Structure 1
Amino acid sequence: MSVVVVGTLDTKGEEIGFARDVLRAQGVDVHVVDVGVMGEPEFEPDTGADAVAAAADASLDGLRDAADRGEAVEVMGEGAAAVVSRMYEAGELDGALGLGGSGNTSIATAAMRALPVGVPKLMVSTMASGDTEPYVGATDIAMLYSVADIEGLNQLSRQVIANAALAMVGMVTNDSAVEVEERPTIGITMFGVTTPCVQTAREYLESRGYETIVFHATGTGGRAMENLVEEGVIDGVLDVTTTEWADELVGGVLSAGPDRLDAAGKAGIPQVVSTGALDMVNFGPRDSVPERFDERLFHVHNPQVTLMRTTSAECAELGEIVAEKLNAATGPTALALPLDGVSMLDVAGERFHDPEADAALFDALRRGVSDDVEVIEADAAVNDDEFARTIAAKLDEYMREAGVAPE
């Protein structure tokens, strides 16, 4: 088994050397990748910083001359990602370990994000107790807070680094391999307010022999599903909950970015897309909502989550965006419209029930989609069992027509 350790040997050589020695003492092969720019390494790495810079079509001397820390971090992150990707593809990497402050956290996690989900990744970082989303992204990077700064070895840093190294040993040497049953895999998106729909649809699809992976539509969840589609892990998509586009358009906190809804269409895999939770934009605590929205309709979901109802104008624009995304698809695609409500809060008697806004959404979608997109309309709410089974059955039909259904 081989672990790659990514670090700046000009500033953290002592600590990286300690992690290397703990790994080796457990019988693990270690490959050290130096990503330090400004100084000389404290010991000879297996892959030098010059090679890392070259992997990003740059030169180490050029980075030193420029003396631009931001540029250096970006370039070395790109180079480290290329280096570890090549090693993984060559079968020379079973796990990746990094340790450092903000600079090497950025570089090492850029390398880790280039590795597939399931490859062990562990980052010991001074940044691990704050907002880790920029480092983890939509991947399975584990982050361990260093507690003290990674600056010299002491009784605390030795214990934290040793724990990290031993955790990596456990991940790469465990003989109890997870059994993977080769079944066609469906990606499904869910939010709390679309949970009943997803539960019913998932049970239907699993009864038909599919494996399902449910993604929480919190921005990173949508990006994770899109990434796994691109990697070929997911064979079909039941995109019940497209709410991340409401946050992208209006300015909520759970956007998945402008590429959401692209991957399945580009890959040409079967997809059934609905309008789940497009009635809401997500914010944090109520007092964190920008003042420009003060006159809007809100629902405090819990002390940490505040939901804001989308307007008719916003719903119409969302319909146009979703339609454009679906029209670009190269595989079988259906649009499913739950005419009686797109979330738990959007049914008769609930706070976000707004037939005018829903009509604006549905009308824009009807006008916008091309003839290549099959439109399914149901006099049901998104969480009704009838609707859930209908969309699951449609995806099953597409999967079977495409020859990717269970035997």
Structure 2
Amino acid sequence: MRHIYVVGTADTKGEELAYLATCIEAAGGVVVRVDVGTRMPATSLDISAATVAACHPDGAGTVLGGDDRGQAVEAMGVAFQHFLAGREDIAGIIGIGGGGGTSIITAGMRELRLGLPKIMVSTLASGDVAPYVDVSDIVMMPSVTDMAGLNRLSRVILHNAAQAITAMVARPAEVAASKPALGLTMFGVTTPAVTAMVEHLKANYDCLVFHATGTGGRTMEKLADSGLISGVLDITTTEVCDLLLGGVLPATADRFGAIARTGLPYVGSVGALDMVNFWAPETVPERYAGRLFYRHNPNVTLMRTTPAECAEIGRWIGERLNLCPGPVRFLFPEKGISALDIEGGAFFDPLADAALFDALEATIKPTASRRIFRLPLHINDPQFAEAAVAAYRDIANP
């Protein structure tokens, strides 16, 4: 049997947890109540805080019994992540909390697969929720009042939340399975290339295009880890520039990690590796004074990567592609890697591009399944899109 997990800190939110669970059961849901509190609870739940804390890699003592609440909250978040990873009966999950509870519960929710219903009723839900949601699909629901006992408004909010999670679990979305899903990465300066690829592929594939702004790449890789896409055309790897050079739209150090973990068919390229993103000109770090910049708009400033930086970027990407056991094809468009990197364009720099290609070629270890190709084309040439699509079809249908 699959259950709706109702999660909170029973030491401070026991009354609200009990009411929420009762509302879900009244709506037809089958509930498991989970305590993630760091102190002695006032309410007995189905799964105790001690049980969750024991899932911490360093043991329950790391979570419970200390005097530092901040450390306890952080440790319980780690324990809750590991606890959820071992549960196979979760139909959906709903949490309630203030600052500490929201931090703990969403830490676990973020590790669950995309598409599994997740609602967090929180006192923080009307502010900046990016640290709690990140690239997951958590629904943040404002509690409106603080959670310090039930009142006429909190009863309504919790009742609504109960109805929402019960409906989400009872009526899962029907997803057409006739076409496998593909992840593609795109930036404004690689739009012609990726748009053309989608046109070639959409008859046979469900094409999911991600804006390469840091969160876009991470979302695509989370889908890969969750088994929700069957392959990747990672044409725009620009997030690596911001990671290595201090830009504002960075990847994480785990970029390409999902490809290595899953072995999915992968076609990649060097789209927009000619640029690092900053906000308005005054936000550019002082160490970059005198560099070549392009004002994309009043709020976005692009900086051209140098040959030395391109070589560093190429080595970084190449080392990670070497860890990918599945089929890999990586394409070098020798006539330019973005709409700005074209003859007459603001970032046209054949020497920098050559340094990038040479570093990649020197680092990537070719195998029967991992191959690189130099193409005498610009990345936005129609023939480049055709080559990328042909490369993907080759490894997806060997």
Q: Scaled by the length of structure 2, what TM-score is found?
A: 0.90
What is the rounded CA distance, in whole Å, between the counterparts of 1:262 and 1:166 in structure 2?
Answer: 37
Q: Equivalents in 2 of 1:346, 1:61: separation in Å?
A: 56
Maintained 8 Å contact 2:62/2:75: no
User: Could you tell which deviates more after superposition, 30-39 or 218-227?
Assistant: 218-227
- Name 1:287's counterpart in structure 2: 282
Closer/same/farther in 2, CA of residues 178 and 301 from structure 1, 3 Å limit: farther
Pairwise CA distance, 1:212 = 2.6
User: Which secondary structure state, in structure 1, belongs to the residue aligned with residue 54 of structure 2?
Assistant: helix
Q: Do the aligned partners of residues 311 and 104 (structure 1) sit closer, same or farther apart at CA in structure 2, a change above 3 Å counting?
A: same
Q: How far does residue 28 in structure 1 lie from its aligned partner after superposition?
A: 1.8
Contact 1:49 1:60 (8 Å CA) reproduced: no
Deviation at 1:13, TM superposition (A): 1.9
281-290 or 46-55, larger mean C-alpha shift: 281-290
* Equivalent residue for 1:369, pick from 328, 350, 364: 364
Q: Which amino acid aligns with 1:9?
A: A
Q: Is this contact kept in 1: 2:6–2:32, CA < 8 A?
A: yes
Partner of 2:97: 100
Evaluate the alpha carbon distance shift between residue 233 and residue 281 of structure 1 in structure 2; reply closer, same or farther with a 3 A threshold.
same
| Equivalent residue for 1:349, pick from 344, 348, 354 | 344
Please, what is the CA RMSD of the aligned residues? Answer: 2.4
Give the equivalent residue in structure 2 for 1:20. 21
Residues of 1 paired with 2:202 and 2:272: CA distance?
Answer: 24
SS of 1:299's partner is: strand
Deviation per residue, 1:325-369 (Å, 9 max, x gap): 223332322221112221122223332222332222122223333
- 1:186 match: 182
Q: Secondary structure at the match of 2:379?
A: coil
**Matched residues, number:** 395
Q: Which moved more, 1:315-324 or 1:120-129?
A: 120-129
Contact 1:23 1:30 in 2 (8 A): yes
Q: Secondary structure at the match of 2:270?
A: strand
Instruction: Kindly indicate whether the alpha-carbon contact (under 8 Å) linking 1:15 and 1:152 is maintained by their aligned counterparts in 2.
Output: yes
CA 1:67–1:317 in structure 2 vs 1: closer, same or farther (change >3 Å)?
same
User: Contact 2:218–2:251 at 8 Å: present in 1 too?
Assistant: yes
Code of the aligned partner of 1:203: E
CA distance in 1, matches of 2:81, 2:366: 42
Q: Does structure 1 residue 235 correspond to structure 2 residue 230?
A: yes
Residue identity in the other structure for 1:214: V
- The aligned residue for residue 115 of structure 1 is 112
Matched residue, 1:3:
4
Q: Using the alignment, how far apart are the partners of 2:60 and 2:316 within structure 1?
A: 44
Which residue, 178, 191, 197 being the options, matches 1:195?
A: 191
8 A contact 2:14–2:41 mirrored in 1: no
Residue type of the alignment partner of 1:383: N
Instruction: Tell me the equivalent position of 1:70.
Output: 70
Alignment of 1:42-57 (within 5 A): 43-56=43-56
Which residues of structure 1 form unaligned runs of 5+?
402-407
Q: Which amino acid aligns with 1:151?
A: A
Give the corresponding residue for 2:255. 260
**Cα 1:166/1:301, change in 2 over 3 Å:** farther
Deviation track 1:137-166 (CA, whole Å, cap 9, x = no partner) reads: 332112223344333434544444333333
Structure-2 change in CA distance of 1:123 and 1:304 (3 Å): farther
Residue deviations 1:87-130 (CA, integer Å, cap 9, x gap): 3x1xx321111121221112111221232111001112233344
Q: Mind listing any 5+ residue stretches in structure 2 that lack a counterpart?
A: none
- The equivalent residue for 1:222 is 217
Question: What residue is the counterpart of 1:392 in the other structure?
Answer: 389
One-letter amino acid of the structure 2 residue matched with residue 106 of structure 1: S
SS in 2 for 1:94: strand
Are the structure 2 counterparts of residues 84 and 389 from structure 1 closer, same or farther at C-alpha, using a change threshold of 3 Å?
same
Question: C-alpha separation between the residues in 2 aligned to 1:287 and 1:160?
Answer: 44
Structure-to-structure mapping, 1:145-224, within 5 angstroms: 145-174=142-171, 177-207=173-203, 209-224=204-219
Cα distance in structure 2, aligned partners of 1:214 and 1:301: 21
TM-aligned CA distance change 1:310 to 1:155, over 3 Å: farther
State the Cα distance separating 1:264 from its structure 2 match: 1.9
Q: Does the CA contact (< 8 Å) of 2:239 and 2:250 recur in 1? A: yes
Quote the offset at 1:195 in angstroms: 1.8
Q: Give 2:37's aligned residue.
A: 36
- After TM superposition, give the deviation of residue 62 of structure 1 in Å: 6.2
Judging changes above 3 Å, is the alpha-carbon distance between structure 1 residues 151 and 294 closer, same or farther for their aligned structure 2 residues? farther
Contact 2:279 2:300 (8 Å CA) reproduced: yes
Aligned identity (percent) is 47
Matches of 1:38 and 1:133, distance apart in 2: 27
Counterpart in the other structure of 1:321: 316
1:127–1:352 CA distance, 2 compared to 1 (3 A): farther
Structure 1 residue 12, shift from structure 2 partner? 1.7
Which residue number in structure 2 is paired with residue 144 of structure 1?
A: 141
Q: Note the alpha carbon deviations across 1:56-83, whole angstroms, 9 max, x for none.
A: 2566666443222233223322332333
Q: 2:266 aligns with which of 264, 271, 278?
A: 271
- What amino acid sits opposite 1:326 in the alignment? L
Counterpart contact for 1:120–1:171, Cα < 8 Å = yes
Deviates more, 1:161-170 or 1:47-56: 161-170
